[in-house]
Amino acid sequence: MANRRRGATDGDFSYVSRVVKYTLFLFNMIFWVIALVMVAIGVYARVSKHAEAARASLSVDPAVLLMVVGVLMFLITFCGCVGSLRENICLLQIFCVFLILIFLLQLAAGILGFIFSDKARAKVTELINDAVIHYRDDLDLQNLIDYGQREFGCCGGTAFTDWQHNMYFNCTPENRSRERCSVPYSCCLISKDEAVINTMCGSGLQLQNFLEAAELIYTNGCIDKLVDWIHSNLFLLGGVALGLAIPQLVGIMLSQIMINQIREQIDLQNYNHRHQSDPWR
């Protein structure tokens, strides 16, 4: 489909397809709205925390990650929305370049993570250990860790004794917390029939050996459980990766088609302008 541009001559038609134009606009509008929601949730979660807790957990705060991803998505999709509506080559090129960079970074991260699996594991271990240290500093992080430990049936990074690194759970004489030498309740072997969860079920279990503790809590670390889950769900992860890649490839394809159509239109207008100004040419 082609539409006549305002101010064009009788022989000058726009070759920018309305289907491509408005499909690209709607594609970007959907992700633009999603980005706004992500930023709004991230900002609300961040400002609702106490100032001390917010500063202490900045590096492992899920709200910060949500805001960063949301802002980046907002800027990229803004270029796509305005670029498609205004038929602006510059904005469309920025949109396309960013999508290509993100796609290549995702591809490189997957390849490097597979090749350097030991280093990737060490980085994940570092992040989980950092999260354990800040467990009580951030409610969002706390809920995320509790959910992970319950779902994977694990406790701590490499073992349940990793909770020794948390200031509220360690066994040092200086620790006056009631949770001294304990582990979070999400480590406990809780029956599904229990209507009320005993949040102190992990009390004092860091003082027990593995066999004794295993009767009451999960003793294996979450890193090994996570690795086992990844190996068991490679097809699912591949499907998720493909689901993330397809919208990016569609955006790249549509933006390139539109850029080419706009350039063809500009070339045609320049050609008509030259021949109208010099009919003997």
The helix, strand and coil proportions of the chain, stated in percent and rounded to the nearest 5, come to 70, 0, 30
What pLDDT, in 10s, does the model give residues 60-115? Answer: 567 788 889 999 999 999 999 999 989 899 999 999 999 999 999 988 887 877 77
Confirm whether 3 is domain-assigned. no
Statement to judge: residues 268 and 211 lie in one domain: no
pLDDT of residue 177: 87
Angle between helices 222-232 and 234-277 (to 10 degrees): 70
Statement to judge: residues 143 and 218 lie in one domain: yes
Confirm whether 2 is domain-assigned. no
Domain count, the chain: 2
Q: Answer yes or no: is pLDDT of 243 > 60.
A: yes
pLDDT of residue 100: 94
Angle between helices 89-115 and 234-277 (to 10 degrees): 150
Question: What whole-number distance in Å separates Cα of residue 222 and Cα of residue 227?
Answer: 9
- The domain boundary, picked from 215, 230, 245, lies at 230
Statement to judge: residues 247 and 217 lie in one domain: no
Please give the single-letter amino acid code of residue 55.
Answer: R
Statement to judge: residues 68 and 104 lie in one domain: yes
Statement to judge: residues 144 and 100 lie in one domain: no
CATH number of the domain that residue 158 is part of: 1.10.1450
Confirm whether 9 is domain-assigned. no
Please give the single-letter amino acid code of residue 62.
Answer: P
Mean pLDDT value of segment 14-20: 78
Statement to judge: residues 31 and 104 lie in one domain: yes
Confirm whether 10 is domain-assigned. no
Statement to judge: residues 149 and 59 lie in one domain: no
Question: What whole-number distance in Å separates Cα of residue 167 and Cα of residue 184?
Answer: 13
Confirm whether 127 is domain-assigned. no
Statement to judge: residues 224 and 256 lie in one domain: no
Sign of CA dihedral 32, 88, 249, 73: negative
Confirm whether 7 is domain-assigned. no
Confirm whether 33 is domain-assigned. yes
Statement to judge: residues 106 and 166 lie in one domain: no
Range of the domain at 204: 136-230
Mean pLDDT value of segment 165-193: 88
Of 15-24, 177-186, 248-257, give the lowest mean pLDDT range: 15-24
DSSP state of 102: H
pLDDT of residue 160: 92
Statement to judge: residues 42 and 168 lie in one domain: no
Question: What whole-number distance in Å separates Cα of residue 39 and Cα of residue 65?
Answer: 10
Statement to judge: residues 22 and 68 lie in one domain: yes
